[in-house]
């Protein structure tokens, strides 16, 4: 089995297949032999547990998942990588590569088809240009994963792992904390990839909640209020909510007061309970 984390091996295989890296598909492949085993271990995958991967690239993380998991389903958008993966993962009979755009897939259906009722994790070095849409799709579609253990840009990791009520919290942090308990695991510097990305990366783990932390009658309205709250960071919460929800300032101020929040409250100071209470009144 070729050493897929060795930069010379990667170049030789890709060169032989005439493969050219695509910047627009976020193709930065891992070339550190210790990194993929560590990410796979952090995902908790093992016998009786399956793994869903997004973007296998040359298969360096896929291989580590295949060595540990019951089954691996890996979704790759780039057709040019299919013959490469056939070669690099040829020895594994528990790996399926699906050529598709993850954002277009009916994930629940393909997961059911490949994993049946077996427990599974999501483990991936995500394409950075669509980190948030992928994570939100995985969370919102309620696919039933145990956790998402993924590599993202460090900046995105800080935002994703921020707790509501803290300075780094944004609309995405609030949504992520509603669906999961996020945790930043470790940073990964640029030199661990070929070609190196422009930014430092980080591995995060989102453990899916069995029950949401707050009771919300209408999730659509709840997320509308959260989005509106964070929509204009330089404006006050009152102004952001007023323009985002199309309601008068008086109504917003009264709602804030009813929730025990002052007129100068800032979105990043609010807890999920505060957003739920505001949604009840304003949604």
Size of the site for ligand SAM (CB under 6 A): 22
Among 42, 64, 78, 268, binds ligand SAM (CB under 6 A): 78
Q: With CB under 6 A as the contact rule, which of the stretches 76-84, 157-165, 176-184, 210-218 interacts with ligand SAM?
A: 76-84
Site string (124-143) toward ligand SAM, x via CB under 6 A: -x-x--x-------------
State the Cα–Cα distance between residues 229 and 190, nearest whole angstrom.
34
> Does 61 engage in binding with ligand SAM (CB under 6 A)?
yes
Strand 201-208 to strand 147-153: parallel, antiparallel, or no bridges (unpaired)? antiparallel
Three-class SS of 164-187: CCCCCCCHHHHHHHHHEEEEEEEE
Phi and psi angles of residue 135, each rounded to the nearest 5 degrees, phi first: -60, -40
> Does 64 engage in binding with ligand SAM (CB under 6 A)?
no
> Does 164 engage in binding with ligand SAM (CB under 6 A)?
no
Among 50, 51, 52, 54, binds ligand SAM (CB under 6 A): 54
Closest of 159, 167, 152, 134 to residue 200, by C-alpha: 152
Q: How far is the CB of 50 from ligand SAM (least distance, A)?
A: 17
> Does 102 engage in binding with ligand SAM (CB under 6 A)?
yes
Burial (CB < 10 A; 0-12, 13-18, 19+), residue 40, is buried
Q: How far is the CB of 42 from ligand SAM (least distance, A)?
A: 14
Q: With CB under 6 A as the contact rule, which of the stretches 44-52, 57-65, 139-147, 240-248 interacts with ligand SAM?
A: 57-65
> Does 218 engage in binding with ligand SAM (CB under 6 A)?
no
Among 42, 64, 76, 274, binds ligand SAM (CB under 6 A): 76
Look at phi and psi of residue 59 and say left if phi exceeds 0, alpha if psi is from -120 to 50, else beta: left
> Does 75 engage in binding with ligand SAM (CB under 6 A)?
yes
> Does 194 engage in binding with ligand SAM (CB under 6 A)?
no
Q: How far is the CB of 214 from ligand SAM (least distance, A)?
A: 32
The sheet carrying 201-208 orders its strands as: 95-99, 72-76, 50-54, 120-125, 147-153, 201-208, 180-188
Q: How far is the CB of 35 from ligand SAM (least distance, A)?
A: 8
State the Cα–Cα distance between residues 277 and 272, nearest whole angstrom.
9
Q: With CB under 6 A as the contact rule, which of the stretches 100-108, 154-162, 210-218, 247-255 interacts with ligand SAM?
A: 100-108
Residues 6+ apart with CB under 8 A from 187: 154, 200, 201, 202
Q: Which residues pair with 13 in a beta bridge?
A: none
CB 98 within 8 A of CB 107: no
Q: Which residues bind ligand SAM (CB under 6 A)?
A: 25-30, 54-57, 60-61, 75-78, 101-103, 125, 127, 130
């Amino acid at each position: 089995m070729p050493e897929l984390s060795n930069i010379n091996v990667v170049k030789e295989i890709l060169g032989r297949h005439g493969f050219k890296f695509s910047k627009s598909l976020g193709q930065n492949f891992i070339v550190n032999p210790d990194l993929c085993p560590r990410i796979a271990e952090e995902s908790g995958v093992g016998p009786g547990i399956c793994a869903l991967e997004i973007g296998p690239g040359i298969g360096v993380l896929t291989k580590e998942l295949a060595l540990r998991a019951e089954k691996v389903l890996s979704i790759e958008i780039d057709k040019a990588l299919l013959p490469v993966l056939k070669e690099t993962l040829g020895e594994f009979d528990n790996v399926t590569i699906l050529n598709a755009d993850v954002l277009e897939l009916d994930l629940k259906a393909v997961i059911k088809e490949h994993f049946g009722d077996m427990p599974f994790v999501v483990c991936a070095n995500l394409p950075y240009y669509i980190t948030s849409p992928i994570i939100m799709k995985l969370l919102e579609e309620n696919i039933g994963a145990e956790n998402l253990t993924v590599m993202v840009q460090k900046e995105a990791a800080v935002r994703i792992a921020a707790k509501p009520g803290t300075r780094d919290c944004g609309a995405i942090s609030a949504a992520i904390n509603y669906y999961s308990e996020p945790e930043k695991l470790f940073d990964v510097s640029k030199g661990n990839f070929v070609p190196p990305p422009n930014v430092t990366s980080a591995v995060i783990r989102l453990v899916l909640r069995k029950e949401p932390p707050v009771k919300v009658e209408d999730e659509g309205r709840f997320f509308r209020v959260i989005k509106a709250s964070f929509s204009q960071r330089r404006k006050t919460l009152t102004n952001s909510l007023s323009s985002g929800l199309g309601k008068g300032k008086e109504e917003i101020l009264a709602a804030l007061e009813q929730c025990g929040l002052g007129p100068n409250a800032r979105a990043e100071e609010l807890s999920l309970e505060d957003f739920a209470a505001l949604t009840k009144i304003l949604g």
